[in-house]
Structure 1
Amino acid sequence: MTDKPAKGPENPLSEAFQDVRAAFGSVGLFSFFINLLMLTGPLYMMQVYDRVLTSGSSHTLVMLTVVAVGMILTSALLELVRARVFVRIGSRLDRRLNGRLFEGMLRRHLQHSESVEPQPLRDLETLRGFLTGNGLLSFFDAPWTPLFLAIIFVLHPYLGLVSLAGAVVLFALAVLSELATRGPLREAGRDSAAAHGFTENTLRNAEVIEAMGMLPGLQRRWLARHQAALAAQAKASDRGGILTAGAKFVRPVLQVAILGTGAYLALQQEITPGVMIAASIMMGRALAPVEGAIGNWRSFVLARAARTRLKSFLEDDRRPAPSMPLPRPKGTIAVEKLVAAPPGVTKPVLKGISFGLEAGEGLGIIGPSAAGKSTLARLLVGIWAPASGAVRLDGADVSEWNHVELGPHLGYLPQDVELFDGTVAENIARFAEPDPRAVVEAAQRAGVHEMILHLGEGYDTRIGLGGAALSGGQRQRIGLARALYGNPALVVLDEPNANLDSEGEEALRRAVKAMKAQGTTVVLIAHRPAILGSMDKLLVLRDGLIEHFGATPEVLPKVTRAVPKPPKPAKGAPAAEVQRLAAASRRAEAAQA
């Protein structure tokens, strides 16, 4: 039943590349034939200069041309197939890794209790882009450079030496490009990621920034990180530009050198003019992969850095091992000497608390701020793992239960309700295949069915990213319907009435009573004790310890004090007086918490 991490022998990234190894092998085979067919041009030129022009045979010219065109067409078709194979390699790697990365990002967020930027998905996109672009072609063609050099040496050793010298110079420029740009590109990537993360965090808090005039300070902070990234990028680009310009100088000089050497040898009658032209074309083909590698070196460096980060991310992330499925829980809760703190915090927030609930019981939890109420809520549904002790649901530790299997039997409504871009029905159904009857039933139990029907398209209304199209109270009530979807065995509600009006609170009370009547175990965290009257038990937390626990009628009088109720407004009282007395009533109710 345990859900302990499984440590496999292979990194998932290495496994994904192993999966496409055969495809890379076929690319190498295609590259071999493509490079052989690249000899068509030089050989055709040699035959035209040395045979056709000297013999004057038009029949030979026609036959040579037909054969050359056929070979060039074959080479083009092989290039097309090779490019399509590269695209499919990138797609297969993406399919193998994207789900794993998405899950890993969610796990890392839960483990570290911090915002996790989507850098792994960006890295996967960078790697896939390199695999499907022209950069990788140079690396597959480079192994055939010695073949062309060898053929040039066969034509004449001097021509071979000129070509070899050119290859050495260009290769040295490629190495210098790597050494000169590696550090700045690494700095640019780090600073750029920091700037992107800062931007996303800023956008999530746009309302606070606008309301309190924080934009200038935050903009300066972002600009400093952005300019650091630009400076590092400019430094790398400047260095790379110098070396690229050097390569563009060397390349024509080599062309002049081999043509001049060939012309001299032809004058000495050591080679024919056809050999001179063929050697020039072959040298161009031999050096093309090296030039391509220099031109695409930045994309190669970025792809290599992305691969390194992906490998490190996947090594740190361990998926839970498969566990034997357990039957649907009944809802019995046992909290055993629970010691816990948020991820990344060493000082415990909960300090050895223990209590139990029978299936179908309702528990109200109250306490001052920072008492550990929300931490306990997360532990009850298994979001966080305790430092010691356990939360057991029907005897099984919820932190070690596979949540893909456990999740449908749990309902959870956090303080900050987040909905997702989709329809109302999809959000209530937790983005599983919606069961219309179950969706409507959950909405009715949450008392939100009528409200949904009044939306533009009812249950098919798209609510926008984060539920932007809805008010806070509407989001909270739809979140409650989502928590109730599928008749879960345990429902944990963390301040579910924070954004509700009186109508919403009444709907919440009815939903809680209905859940208890159906045998659902309900845990309700609230600041106002009035909402907890229907709970069977009440738990009072203070400083991470249980101050009171027991039947609600016994505990509630210990934590409330009588507060004089303000008078009700007289009939026909002015609006200002009505508002004043209503505010006093709310303050009185809050004082009871």
Structure 2
Amino acid sequence: MSSNMRSSVSELSSALRSCRAAFWGIGAMSGMLNVLALTGSLFMLQVYDRVIPSRSVSTLIGLSIIVGVLYVFQGALDALRMRVLSWSSSLLDERVGRRVFDAAGQVSLRIRPTGDGLQPQRDLDQVRGYLSSTGPTAFFDLPWIPLYLGICFLFHFWIGVLATAGALILCALTLMTELLTVGPAKEAAAAGVKRNMLAESTRRNAEVLQAMGFAGQLGRHWETANSSYTQSQRRVGNVASSLGSASKIARMILQSAILGMGAWLVIHGQASGGIMIASSIMMSRALAPVELAIGSWKSFVAARQSWGRLNKLLQTIPAVSQPLELPKPKSKLTVETLSVAPPGDQRLVVTDASFELSAGQALGIIGPSASGKSSLSRALVGVWHPARGKVRLDGASLDQWTPETLGPSIGYLPQDIELFAGSIAQNISRFDEQPDASAIIAAAQAAGVHELILRLTDGYETQIGEGGAVLSAGQRQRVALARALYRDPFLVVLDEPNSNLDAEGETALTEAILSVRARGGIVVLVAHRPNALSGVDHVLAMANGRVQAFGPKEEILGKVLQRPTVVGGMRISAPGEGKAS
């Protein structure tokens, strides 16, 4: 087992170990409950063997009072046990819930996404739900089965033999339940992930589906995935329900067999009537945990699969240690023989890129589509981890900071704009718990979106909906630009920031770049349209994932105009001379 695997397993295990005292308490309460469960059998034994022969009403009343008190105490103890189980599940969620949330948000940056993004949260819900149900109580009660079987042997040897045979039969049914459900349960989980992914992508792309009318085709794909999911679920349910019914029937047969055996022993003078009735009740109580385990097996299997997926997730995204906090970067960006591959892929999309920028400089990255421009920008801000090489700020590689400590020094505007449900002010301030109103307004003004925001009904408090649905594409881009400029970050990386901007927006973009340079920041800008290069002083040309040229803007653009093959055959006009062709 690798060290990462040990680390991830111990992380979840330590969360459970924090509930160890509660589990010891549950075990102690389970022991008391199983002893108290003898109350009914012993009461019947005393009634049949003492009260009825002696016709003593006072003895019956005394026994009834004692039994009543014991039943009340048993009920209160059982309720307390369930509360402690529920508290333990909540404590587990408290200990690992944030870790699971953080890991789920980062997993697509480490490996190729293969499942539903919300699956980790559902897995944690599944584990928590199972822990707070009656299912785990069966495992706390199972060790007490020998107590009941031992008492059955004390009643009579053949009663003990029959009770033991019944327990073995139900244990065999439990094993069969495990063997017959594990395969269909895995198939159901995989089909459920595929079904949920289709549903989520349909929701995200509702406009495209409506406009081009292929919702029906996707609907049929969903029906196929859903049919596979429901069939697998039905197989799991059928096995669990069939074996659950078999266990109930077996228990009833065994109870009747015990009663018949007791009657035979009474007829032959080898047992009393009280033993006959008490042994039947004792048999029922002895087999109850096994029957409960079979009945809750489907939930147990689902929780076990969820636990395994959470283990794998935390193995993939280990907890980040807190390194020594470094000073905020303020002077230099260095890229050293950087190679980048997409998450979960071995294919390099950027190979051996090297360059250096100093405070006050701005770099424009140009090149044809699929030349590695966006991949390079992702590596510069730490979104994608280098396959080899380093990205350094003031000499320190990005992995020497945590994202939380480095984040305020980074401004990033991705190609695909991602805004969050909330107000415009919250989005610009990056959902800062103590936002600086003046910094929010300054960032909006730097992005040229301040006046636009004021014209909205609620101004900065306007709720933009999921993904910024209330705003136009250009408005979303300018709000995202303001977010990138919030609190004057040192390194600002903009990936095609003018793709949805009008002339006014492009002017504001240029002014924003110049203002970052004026205050001593560094700007890296990925551009297809040459107008975006107005504010930069350096240009880097890429083709096929490699740096073809790097240097002052006029020099590099002059080379590109004279030799278009410098950027893989894509001709780029100088600013003001036209558009890329």
User: Does 1:591 pair with 2:546?
Assistant: no
* TM-aligned CA deviation for residue 158 of structure 1: 2.6
Match of 2:236 in 1: 236
Task: After superposition, give the CA deviation of every residue in 1:240-287 in whole Å (9 maximum; x if it has no partner).
Answer: 333223223222222221222222322333322222222221111111
Whichever residue aligns with residue 51 of structure 1, its letter is: R
User: Does 1:53 pair with 2:56?
Assistant: no
* TM-aligned CA deviation for residue 72 of structure 1: 1.1
Change (3 A) 1:64 1:131: same
Whichever residue aligns with residue 322 of structure 2, its letter is: P
Of residues 33-42 and 232-241 in structure 1, the stretch that sits farther from structure 2 once superposed is 232-241
* TM-aligned CA deviation for residue 10 of structure 1: 5.3
Task: After superposition, give the CA deviation of every residue in 1:319-359 in whole Å (9 maximum; x if it has no partner).
Answer: 33331110011041122222323234444333323222111
Q: Secondary structure at the match of 2:497?
A: coil
Q: Distance in 1 between matches of 2:448 and 2:256?
A: 84
Q: Distance in 1 between matches of 2:58 and 2:138?
A: 38
* TM-aligned CA deviation for residue 116 of structure 1: 5.0
Task: After superposition, give the CA deviation of every residue in 1:162-185 in whole Å (9 maximum; x if it has no partner).
Answer: 222222222222222222222222
Q: How does 1:404-443 map to 2 (within 5 A)?
A: 404-433=404-433, 434-443=435-444
Q: Distance in 1 between matches of 2:499 and 2:173?
A: 65
User: Does 1:295 pair with 2:283?
Assistant: no
Match of 2:503 in 1: 502
Match of 1:576 in 2: none
User: Does 1:367 pair with 2:373?
Assistant: no
Contact 2:539 2:556 in 1 (8 A): yes
Match of 1:256 in 2: 256
Q: Distance in 2 between matches of 1:251 and 1:115?
A: 44
Q: Secondary structure at the match of 2:355?
A: strand
Q: Distance in 2 between matches of 1:426 and 1:479?
A: 11
Residue ranges of structure 1 left out of the alignment (5+ in a row): 562-587
Q: How does 1:439-458 map to 2 (within 5 A)?
A: 439-458=440-459
Q: Distance in 1 between matches of 2:355 and 2:279?
A: 87
Q: How does 1:67-466 map to 2 (within 5 A)?
A: 67-114=66-113, 117=116, 118-433=118-433, 434-466=435-467
What root-mean-square deviation, in Å, do the aligned CA atoms of Structure 1 and Structure 2 show? Answer: 2.3
Task: After superposition, give the CA deviation of every residue in 1:85-141 in whole Å (9 maximum; x if it has no partner).
Answer: 101111111122222222222332112254652322222211111111111111111
Whichever residue aligns with residue 480 of structure 1, its letter is: L
Change (3 A) 1:287 1:57: same
Q: Distance in 2 between matches of 1:89 and 1:139?
A: 16
Task: After superposition, give the CA deviation of every residue in 1:446-469 in whole Å (9 maximum; x if it has no partner).
Answer: 222222222232222221111112
Q: Secondary structure at the match of 1:408?
A: helix
* TM-aligned CA deviation for residue 84 of structure 1: 0.9
Task: After superposition, give the CA deviation of every residue in 1:23-60 in whole Å (9 maximum; x if it has no partner).
Answer: 21111100000111111112222222322223333322
Match of 2:522 in 1: 521
Task: After superposition, give the CA deviation of every residue in 1:134-167 in whole Å (9 maximum; x if it has no partner).
Answer: 1111111111111111112212223222222222
Q: Distance in 1 between matches of 2:213 and 2:482?
A: 37
Contact 1:383 1:399 in 2 (8 A): no
Of residues 316-325 and 516-525 in structure 1, the stretch that sits farther from structure 2 once superposed is 316-325
Q: Secondary structure at the match of 1:133?
A: coil
- What TM-score, normalized to structure 1? 0.89
Q: Distance in 2 between matches of 1:200 and 1:589?
A: 44
Q: Percent identity?
A: 46
Q: Distance in 2 between matches of 1:500 and 1:306?
A: 45
Match of 2:473 in 1: 472
Change (3 A) 1:304 1:549: closer
Contact 1:6 1:320 in 2 (8 A): no
Change (3 A) 1:282 1:120: same
Q: Distance in 2 between matches of 1:500 and 1:55?
A: 99
Q: Secondary structure at the match of 1:533?
A: helix
Contact 2:9 2:311 in 1 (8 A): no
Change (3 A) 1:297 1:447: same
Residue ranges of structure 2 left out of the alignment (5+ in a row): 563-575
Of residues 525-534 and 323-332 in structure 1, the stretch that sits farther from structure 2 once superposed is 525-534
Task: After superposition, give the CA deviation of every residue in 1:467-522 in whole Å (9 maximum; x if it has no partner).
Answer: 11211111111111111111111111111111112222222222222222221211
Contact 2:115 2:193 in 1 (8 A): no
Whichever residue aligns with residue 529 of structure 1, its letter is: P
Q: Secondary structure at the match of 2:338?
A: strand
Q: Distance in 2 between matches of 1:520 and 1:339?
A: 25
Q: Distance in 1 between matches of 2:5 and 2:489?
A: 29
Contact 1:5 1:319 in 2 (8 A): no
Of residues 96-105 and 295-304 in structure 1, the stretch that sits farther from structure 2 once superposed is 96-105
Whichever residue aligns with residue 293 of structure 2, its letter is: A
Contact 1:11 1:311 in 2 (8 A): no
Q: Distance in 2 between matches of 1:293 and 1:244?
A: 9
- What TM-score, normalized to structure 2? 0.91
Number of equivalences? 564
Of residues 462-471 and 536-545 in structure 1, the stretch that sits farther from structure 2 once superposed is 536-545
* TM-aligned CA deviation for residue 210 of structure 1: 2.9
Of residues 297-306 and 209-218 in structure 1, the stretch that sits farther from structure 2 once superposed is 209-218
Change (3 A) 1:245 1:348: closer
